[in-house]
Structure 1
């Protein structure tokens, strides 16, 4: 059992929901995010509902790369080790390229990929020393193909994250360190709360329960929920671009 779980971006959305699910299953948690007030509230909630669970929190902006290493090491000391790290922190800003919003696209790229690289480095430093661990990358179904308009940069960063995880998985395939990439479909959260008439959208509670179930299985990759996103993902990857574009 991966008892001690570190989740980044835990103050809202999927991170918040996964923390609640893992706590209910009896896992000790290391939770970090930029909004310390939200982390405080989450810890209080989890400790009331799950008094046997240890919950450590620490404010963290994942774009402060030195802080990523420091916070991960602090959590390891507080909990006596880390068994699983879920690289979840991210953002969904983005505009069509060439329309004057480079700042937003750059921020998305730096948060979703460069900061994820720092989290990978910090997690694997711990896992290599322990000689065990489970690294989880939260990608997106949009990573399956280049996406147009506001999703272009976001999808590219999530594809890069998936490729990063796969490279580590290949390298560590014969070791006690496991690497999982999850590809969530449309799960209602702060990142998409303004989206309307989105097909196949599921509520956050259901989505986080399915994410935790997929993560606990420790498969190499998982689309969440599997239906309809596994077949949609296959179509996005394999259809000729004019046909795939109809799904975007």
Structure 2
């Protein structure tokens, strides 16, 4: 059984809260409980001490610095260049590992809360939108989902993978017309129902608030099958 029989909305935030405080206020007025998902994001959070890719990345950076210093010695120039090239490749792979580690950790935190609450809606903003996308793609959640300026494409590029298109999921997406973090054509191609408003990434303008309110009301009107 869950911790409460009260209907809840799972909130996955980004580096900032953007439009989430206003949305949470309106959801609470509708009698819904808002539950925040702890999402460690690189490079923040004490949990990153357990991230093996950070230690590996630190070693790669040290090796690159050492190789660069060796370039001043003529006999080692070719060897140093090869090491630098190899360390750059290794560093890129480590960055991908760091992002994938963060995604898995955030998705696992969300799944634990999904098992504890009767969740009527999942809302993901920015980085949290990318984690919510991962939940849907992995079928960890198939209920109504609202994605606000999700950085799904950017996260996938950093993680060296292709984002999965969500055809059957009950998803509404709100994007900003002037968003430096979310490439619109690539992001729009992942979803069926997308609304684009004249705003920037935080989605705090009037048009964004109206679009978010309409999308959340539409999703909350859909039936949800709860699993205890």
**Structure 2-normalised TM-score?**
0.45
Q: Which protein has greater RCO, CA pairs closer than 8 Å, 6+ apart?
A: 2
Q: What TM-score results when the alignment is normalised by the length of structure 1? A: 0.42
> Which structure would you say has the larger Rg?
2
